[in-house]
A and B are shown apart, each in its own frame.
Chain A
Amino acid sequence: MVLFSFLKYFQEIFDLPAEVIMDQPLIMLVANKRLYIENHKGIALFQEDLIKVRVKDFFIIIKGFNFELERIEEDHLIIVGDFSIIDYEKK
């Protein structure tokens, strides 16, 4: 907890990107067709119309249809499909 608050302080003072220092998720969305998530912790649920991605402290819930996991790697993943809702859920 002490380390976390120190890191947060450090990041704020030097204006550093949170996704690098704090391991926070970085989400990039191209229209409603392509979603890029960095710093994920794995997939919790994978369905054709619903994907739940585990990130630090919460889940990212994506609703839509025709989902496809274009690529999954250790630190990032790319989802393609037609997105309608992107939501967050506390763990």
Chain B
Amino acid sequence: MSGSRITMFFNGYLLIDIRGNALERFINQINNNDIKLYNLKKIKKNHFQAKIRAKNFKKLRPLVKKRMCSVKIINKYGFPFLMSCLWKRNFMLFGFILLFMIIYLGSSFVWFYEIKGINQLSKEKVELLLNKSGIKIGTLKKNININTAEKNILKLESDIIWIDLSWKGTKLKVDLVERKKVPGAVKGNLISNKNAIISEIIVFKGLPVVQTGDTVKRGQILIASSEESKAARGIAKGYVWYEASGESKLISKKYFFTGRNKRQYVIRIGGFKIYFPPIKINFKEYIKVNSVKIASEWRNIDFPLELINVNYKEIKFIKIEQMRKSAEYFALEEALGKILNKINNKAIILEILPEKLNVHDNNIVRCRLLLKTEEIIAYYKEELGAKD
């Protein structure tokens, strides 16, 4: 068919059989009468098949009468024929209309709730609140005003501080945030969590036990609770020292991959192993990388089957020599890394003291690092057996 395939479909077209002698001449005659034929095919001798627009079919009759030809309709295609076909099947049409109506009507009601964000409140209580503000399962979506319902719920329940209602098809999504209840103060002291020298102490509540410049140990009380204020409150900062050492070699061995690999698969069934292909590893030094695939579990049944992909990667060792200064740098870097892992991220670093250490081995450079920081060292600890 031509580019007007869509127009052909909407206007309707026929598949016809043309039989007779000298059909080429007949086709030329049809063409001269301004009747268009499409997809003309030769089936047999003196037998053609073509497509024609439905409205042009009647125009063929006078031409057929003149010649010793016969034209027959094989099939009818297109929208008008489809419609007439549908029209004959009243109940199917009715069924389609009914189906669309049911889908349309069904989608305009609330059928489900999805409630998120509840911890202390129960689901039933939230549903009751929704019912009170006019949202029930089976209500028309059109009759529900989400904004007023949100305000109503917030008024009705003081434990909810934020609520958001939204539609997802026929489902009502309820997102809410509950009010957090802060527990009352419990009797307790502020205690040092590090060995330090106090640099600053500010007391909000309670009695200070130490002063600025005092050395404190871990676990020592800094601010004690008094009779007036059960819970001690305050800020205590202190200088804390950290120490770590690191080392680096002047001459070290490192390996690199040569790029030559060998692959082997191992099938393990229970304790039995099958290797394929059976290869010999003729690398001088290599690294073995295993990746195991286990047959997937199905209905609590474990298959004792494993496929292991073994990759042998050839390596070569090389000697790396470095200068004493760069070795010192790497040793210090290692020490610093160790300290930074321990330090609280709010601590302020005041001083860094690097120090070289003497080692018997000439190949090793060892350094020590001392780090002085100022940080908050107080934490709150409840007294045993204390009650609100």
Contact = CB atoms under 8 A, between A and B. Distances in A.
Contact of A46 (B2, B24, B32): B24
User: What's the dominant secondary structure at chain B's contact region?
Assistant: mixed
Interface string A39-74: 000111111100000000000000000011111111
Give the contact-size bracket for chain A.
10 to 19
A47 B42 CA distance: 6
B62 to A, nearest CB: 18
A73 B42 contact: no
User: What's the dominant secondary structure at chain A's contact region?
Assistant: strand
B2 A72 contact: no
Contact of B27 (A68, A72, A78): A72
18 contacts: A42-B24, A42-B31, A43-B24, A44-B24, A46-B24, A46-B42, A46-B48, A47-B42, A68-B40, A69-B41, A69-B50, A70-B39, A70-B40, A71-B2, A71-B37, A72-B27, A72-B37, A74-B32
A72 B41 CA distance: 12
A72 B24 contact: no
B38 to A, nearest CB: 6
Contacts of A69: 27, 37, 39-41, 50
Given A70-B2, A74-B31, A48 B42 contact: yes
A45 B42 CA distance: 11
A70 B38 CA distance: 5
A42 B40 CA distance: 14
B347 interface: no
B24 A67 contact: no
Given A46-B23, A68-B39, A72-B37, 16 more contacts: A42-B24, A42-B27, A42-B31, A43-B24, A43-B27, A43-B28, A46-B27, A48-B42, A69-B41, A70-B2, A71-B2, A71-B36, A71-B38, A72-B31, A72-B36, A74-B32
A72 B42 contact: no
B1 interface: yes
B31 A68 contact: no
B95 to A, nearest CB: 39
Contact of B41 (A45, A68, A74): A68
Nearest to B27: A43
B31 to A, nearest CB: 5
A45 B24 contact: yes
Contacts of B37: 69, 71-72
B34 interface: yes
A42 B42 contact: no
A9 to B, nearest CB: 32
A42 B41 CA distance: 16
B28 A42 contact: yes
A68 B2 CA distance: 12
A67 B28 contact: no
Nearest to A78: B2
Interface in B9-28: 23-24, 27-28
Given A48-B42, A67-B42, A74 B34 contact: yes
Nearest to A69: B40
B174 to A, nearest CB: 61
A13 B161 CA distance: 91
Nearest to A43: B24
B34 A46 contact: no
Interface string A64-91: 0001111111100010000000000000
A23 B280 CA distance: 81
